[in-house]
Chain A
């Protein structure tokens, strides 16, 4: 079955810096890749997603890139702010709308 690896497990940046989180997946049939942000004690929130027919997608300060050949995708956050501090999860969908999640990245943005 699908396996998703996520790196780094923790990431500390200064406010205003950029942050990049990377994920790799194993199942070439996966064709949908969402990213979730989870604040402490809250539910995961969908922040951006990308489908396999697209190489890059942007939404204000966040962007996601997808390399289908290498089976990896990345989340880029620019001009980070303290409120970006949270745990971020990538996921891959191998079909039937199932999601297989990565292990998560704890992002800490220091003022």
Chain B
């Protein structure tokens, strides 16, 4: 597996602002993913972030709203832009190792 950390762990933001979430891994990994988990719901894949290439977004998610960076094999960021209360959720990064995925602790975002 891997040790995965996220910052911040939680935040309260005003609508219309943006928040950047960081994900750090203790080893080099090719595949990183960003998920959203709305309160009491399942996990939904936002995008796949591979180093050296543009992120691949799932249906319903767009780059303008959720820009992603992947500058190296141990780090990625997800920005939630122009936030609205509907963006209140837990955002989790994960890493893929030999087909298995391991999750970070999540960032709990509340938009007021």
Using a CB–CB distance below 8 Å, which chain A residues touch chain B?
1, 32, 34, 42-46, 49, 51, 89, 93, 96-104
Contacts and interface: CB of A to CB of B under 8 A. Distances in A.
Interface residues of B, number: 20
B101 A101 contact: no
Given A43-B105, A96-B48, A101 B100 contact: no
B96 to A, nearest CB: 4
Contacts of A99: 33, 43, 45, 101
Contact of A89 (B42, B45, B105): B42
A43 B99 contact: no
B81 to A, nearest CB: 23
Nearest to B97: A97
B43 A89 contact: yes
Given A89-B42, A101-B43, A46 B101 contact: yes
A97 B97 CA distance: 9
Given A34-B100, A46-B100, A98 B105 contact: no
Contacts of B102: 46
A43 B3 CA distance: 12
Interface string B13-52: 0000000000000000001010000000111110010000
Nearest to B101: A99
A97 B96 contact: yes
Contact of A101 (B42, B48, B56, B105): B42
B100 A104 contact: no
